[in-house]
Amino acid sequence: MVKTKEHLDKLIRIGGHSGRYDYMRLDMNENPTGLPEEFIERVKNKITPSFLATYPEVTRIKKKLADYLGVKENNLAIANGSDSEIKYIFEAFVNPSDKILMVNPTFEMYPVYTEMYQGIPLLVDYDSEMQVSFDEFYEKAHFADIIVILNPNNPIGTIFSHEQIECVIKVAQENDALVVIDEAYHYFYAGTCLDLAIKYDNVLLLRTFSKLCSLAACRVGFAVGNEKLIEYVSKVQPTYDVNAFAILFVESLLDNIEVIDGLIAEEKIGREYLSKKLAAEKIPHNQSESNYIFINCEDKVAELEKELEGQGILIKTYSKPLLKNFIRVTTGRKEVMDKFCEVFIPLYHSLLN
């Protein structure tokens, strides 16, 4: 028998979802409609035999991204999705028995990588009102080696303020701890801690092109931080981590920022529309600071999920006690939200009233 790492025997992984192409996909916070068709066609026309025959290069995209963000190129690391960037951070900075501070629940890959790299989770739980105590988080930050802040958080779209996060960074700096600020949902929330990632030498900020920018299939994410931190993250990355198609699409987006602006406006209109429709029907829901809404469906979650799937709509459900009575619905263009409401609202009333 081949010798393996014993701690991985207990690590439980759930494979990626499949069979989703023929559905209205409101379960994983992708853009339900994606990029404009004419934009995609323009990018496709740039794919030539020479393009396909050449190894991918990140030089141009790094310069364009640095200019867009207002940072230096050596403050950037670009990876095959932000979840890969998270893995590289753990690989570069986490030692066995390091304490990893995070709220609970949070994006599932943080607990997974904590276990994978033999860290010790230091958790601050949400309460029954779906709120998390910053005071408790701040106190536990004094004992952490790595501090993870998703802003807004996933799956519950709450935020810490810029001032609160800076307080945590200062505590971490005193203890030589790293702060990871995950802004995967940045475009749906006006605030950012990008300035803190440049100001302090113990901060790495993560973003992705998978959500609002509608490039989940391409897998592109990036980290922003101090030059030395970026150097360490880059050391553990594969040589050609990001494929050329992904680079081409991101580069084209950065050359056409108005496309991103249009996506932001569409999602905001759709999210507000869905919230108003639910409110008008007296359906209890939580509007987050991100591109999804939680809807309280009491003990009818399983039935609703099955019925919606039968009508071609996927939504997110949870096994955790705090969230077991809720479904999460990805928000997008108003037309998509309207189609969802046409199916969901009568179904909700028939099951719960």
Q: What is the pLDDT of residues 226-276, one digit of tens each?
A: 999 999 999 999 999 999 999 999 999 999 999 999 999 999 999 999 999
pLDDT digits (tens, 9 = 90+) for 93-103: 999 999 999 99
Length, in residues, of the chain: 353
The CATH-assigned architecture of domain 6-30+258-352 is Alpha-Beta Complex (3.90)
The Cα–Cα gap between 107 and 140 comes to: 19
Within the chain, which residue ranges are assigned CATH 3.40.640.10? 37-255
For residues 205 and 197, give the distance between their C-alpha atoms in angstroms, rounded to a whole number.
6
Q: What is the pTM of this model?
A: 0.93
pLDDT at 296 over 70: yes
pLDDT value for 338: 96
Mean pLDDT of 194-208: 97
CATH 3.90.1150.10 range(s) for the chain read: 6-30+258-352
Helices (H), ranges, the chain: 37-44, 49-52, 59-69, 82-93, 109-116, 134-141, 162-174, 194-199, 227-235, 244-254, 257-280, 301-310, 334-352
Residue 142 near residue 171 (C-beta atoms within 8 A): yes
Residue 183: closest CA among 69, 277, 56, 72: 69
Cβ–Cβ under 8 Å, residues 129 and 81: no
Tokens in use for 29?
């916070």
Half-sphere exposure of 345 (CA within 13 A, CB side): 16
Q: Which CATH architecture has domain 37-255?
A: 3-Layer(aba) Sandwich (3.40)
CB atoms within 10 A of CB 241: 20
Q: Which two tokens stand for residue 153?
A: 């958080």
- 149 forms bridges with which residues in the sheet? 181
User: 328 by DSSP, 3-state: which?
Assistant: strand
- Spatial distance between the Cα atoms of 122 and 137, rounded to a whole number of angstroms: 9
Residue-wise pLDDT for 115-144, tens only, equals 999 999 999 999 988 899 999 999 999 999
Q: Taken in order 126, 132, 134, 136, is the CA torsion positive or negative?
A: negative
